[in-house]
Structure 1
């Protein structure tokens, strides 16, 4: 069952030019740019030999919210924009751990001008938390904790049998959402955990995917062995995140949860993952804090922490996508303290033809920290695929996309000029570029150890 509110949005523009860049979006340029040479116009940007400059664009489209009942008691929250862009490509965004569709507001409002854009909350996170306790309390025992919590009851409700908030559940959720709500193959974009789920989903359902973009995708998920992959080893760990959750872990989990949900901890985490500390994260902070106050939040967190690893590893999913020729694009914030660039470069080595964009300075969430850059790159990559290579990839100096390229991007936000460096790694990157990246990443890892 789908519940959705309608809204208006500008129709998309169809680009038919053979030129390697999309048409100009605005007619007004800063006067100082008139003295620059070799200008080319790229959807909201001015491109010269060595820099990009974004033009101010106040256009944005409305965003609507919807709910979809996947299974009884499984209500999924999602947001969408650009619904009137009939016939245009559809793009689905998957969030990282601890956040939700709200983390893609800047993509929904901007990319909704050209595409039909969706963002979904994983079951057990964001606004897709359960409305009812998956367990019930049969009797009070003097040896038990007096105040029962969600998920820690005596028996599991029938609708929650075998429920565990795992990467396999989220992959299945995405597949059904695309089949029943979106109803056609899509471009899928995932950040952090969402990147792993996006890749996993594409490996299992290549027929539903037009392309996958990984934004600092986490290369692993889950602390405990998967029962199907390692049946003997998994027996050592009796709980697999299913309900009812074991009472013996409640005390420990409550201590950990209290620390994680502390507003000071949330602020500190956001400070770590955003390279540019001038980025306004107040809205993200308030939404995360709001989710932690939901009565189902602790049970969901516990299930996630106890859940087994996926049936398919990140590397296996990548290999399967390669076998099925699923287009993949890599966009990584260089200053990510968690998913270092070395992880993205490993994917690039396995998929030499995949475009790899490294953005600096940018951290773990480049789509929220530098949305101007990520949105520009996404538009260009989608146009490249939709035109079957007729439109060149963003930043590419040669039509083939074989060689490395780097550009500085200048843009104005809140009246202040900002700049980032975007490095493109081609399919035939020079030996020096690869060695340089390798040694730089090794030095970064050494620095971490000594800090």
Structure 2
């Protein structure tokens, strides 16, 4: 049994040691200390992750250790013994996430009555090393489900592209995947090939994105216009076409798109899975049409979208904005749109964005890059981007959406990449705090698109969650069969095979609620640094 005791209120970590021999762990030499303790004093400047940590062993051992022990550490009354960590610092508080280099090293041994002797301000965390969880890799071309593409005409000339798999699984649950901003249904190919073996799965492109861009110019130019310019940019003419008169790429439009797709194409209630913008839209759709939803899974879902006030919620504020994303794009907005679009659609700019959101750069395949680049080259892409940016907010706020989902008892599963620089895990923990029954998994290392970086793990968790719901909990949720995980924030290692190589990531079940002050500091920490304030690192 291995135990780590960490002070919740003081920046001190006290680790019980019971070594039979010296051990070297990430550059830290731990000598023979029968029944002794090693006290590590953690300064504020060492709280940030990935910085070296200087640990002092003198504080505790000076009074408790015998002469032989002191000699081993070569203590001097005027100098404190310090050791330098090569990599991650030790965690403080109730978090154990940054102690990964030490976990599993068999250096932490149980100390009888440790929790009682340290007082009530200590949290005892079980770090019992269990066997690595072996999960299946992705199916190869022969074993995976076949993906087929289709198009669905929704109103006028609004053509929606979608992919599907698993049609042969008659009677199996239906699952709909919603993509994030700037990508399309292709971002879920690994989910469709794998989960299509068990379920009937679809992935759609939102109107104005992916391959659901208009086939014709919604606002064509009038008179003689340079042919190359006309081909390059659509939607900037003086008059809108009748079929596009109500076209605004807003969250309300996408919500109705999902509803009609479910009713007309799928034909039954679904499980919704959404990443980033897709997660927000999945929640919004579920809150408005709960009768069509069996459950929803959020993959690093963005907690807000759009900045222009909704006319039904704030009519006076909405009047201050003369344009609300409808076609044609006003002449004053054209130059700005063309300038911004020319910058963000450059291949190098797209690569830089992918490097930000992907922790594992090997997941940034040439195929992924080329398919994103293909979308940006569509003549309607620039005007569609402008419409999306200037479209109004939804009819419901994020808090109202969560409240409705909770009132309707809609099952929620949260799967978040811990290293996401955009949607920090605290946003997912905010959802967890408002919907306590939600299942929450955190993956590390993984960024903004965990389904693309570690599809093996996300597919394993999604499959287990859906099977748990369908079996009315007779099938255990992934990781919930280990009682130790229900009483701690312990990380578990999941190992899988990819392209002939063994790979692994850490996954934990998140149970604790996020105190508001920690959430506030985590969100506004960058602003505090900008304006010269102190940096407070909160670890949940």
Tell me the TM-score normalized by structure 1. Answer: 0.83
- Residue 334 (structure 1) aligns with: 418
The reply to whether residue 49 of structure 1 matches residue 140 of structure 2 is no
- 451, 459, 478: which one pairs with 1:394? 478
- Residue 41 (structure 1) aligns with: none
> SS of 2:362's equivalent?
coil
- 209, 223, 230: which one pairs with 2:293? 209
Q: What are the ranges of 5 or more consecutive residues in structure 1 without an aligned counterpart?
A: 1-47
Contact 1:393 / 1:401 at 8 angstroms: preserved in 2? Answer: no
> SS of 2:283's equivalent?
helix
Contact 2:337 / 2:383 at 8 angstroms: preserved in 1? Answer: no
Contact 2:426 / 2:522 at 8 angstroms: preserved in 1? Answer: no
Distance 2:203 2:290 in 1: 20
From the CA coordinates, give the structure whose radius of gyration is larger.
2
> SS of 2:436's equivalent?
coil
The reply to whether residue 77 of structure 1 matches residue 161 of structure 2 is yes
> SS of 1:278's equivalent?
helix
Pairwise mapping of residues 194-233 of structure 1 onto structure 2 (< 5 A)?
194-233=278-317
- 195, 206, 222: which one pairs with 1:122? 206
Pairwise mapping of residues 31-70 of structure 1 onto structure 2 (< 5 A)?
49-56=130-137, 57-58=139-140, 59-70=143-154
- Residue 273 (structure 2) aligns with: 189
Q: Alpha carbons of 1:400 and 1:79: their partners in 2 closer, same or farther (altered >3 Å)?
A: farther
The reply to whether residue 418 of structure 1 matches residue 514 of structure 2 is no
Aligned residues: 395
| C-alpha RMSD over aligned residues | 2.5
Contact 1:342 / 1:441 at 8 angstroms: preserved in 2? Answer: no
Pairwise mapping of residues 87-102 of structure 1 onto structure 2 (< 5 A)?
87-102=171-186
Contact 1:348 / 1:354 at 8 angstroms: preserved in 2? Answer: yes
- Residue 493 (structure 2) aligns with: 408
Distance 1:275 1:337 in 2: 10
- 232, 236, 247: which one pairs with 1:163? 247
> SS of 1:155's equivalent?
coil
The reply to whether residue 299 of structure 1 matches residue 380 of structure 2 is no
Distance 1:444 1:75 in 2: 38
Contact 1:395 / 1:406 at 8 angstroms: preserved in 2? Answer: no
- 205, 215, 222: which one pairs with 1:131? 215
Following TM superposition, by how much is the alpha carbon of 1:407 offset from its aligned partner in structure 2, in angstroms? 1.1
Distance 1:163 1:444 in 2: 34
Following TM superposition, by how much is the alpha carbon of 1:401 offset from its aligned partner in structure 2, in angstroms? 8.7
Following TM superposition, by how much is the alpha carbon of 1:202 offset from its aligned partner in structure 2, in angstroms? 0.4
Following TM superposition, by how much is the alpha carbon of 1:136 offset from its aligned partner in structure 2, in angstroms? 3.4
Q: Alpha carbons of 1:367 and 1:55: their partners in 2 closer, same or farther (altered >3 Å)?
A: closer
Q: What are the ranges of 5 or more consecutive residues in structure 2 without an aligned counterpart?
A: 1-128, 531-540
- 447, 460, 463: which one pairs with 1:376? 460
- Residue 319 (structure 1) aligns with: 403
Whose RCO is larger (CA < 8 A, sep 6+)?
1
Pairwise mapping of residues 228-307 of structure 1 onto structure 2 (< 5 A)?
228-307=312-391
Following TM superposition, by how much is the alpha carbon of 1:54 offset from its aligned partner in structure 2, in angstroms? 2.6
> SS of 1:198's equivalent?
helix
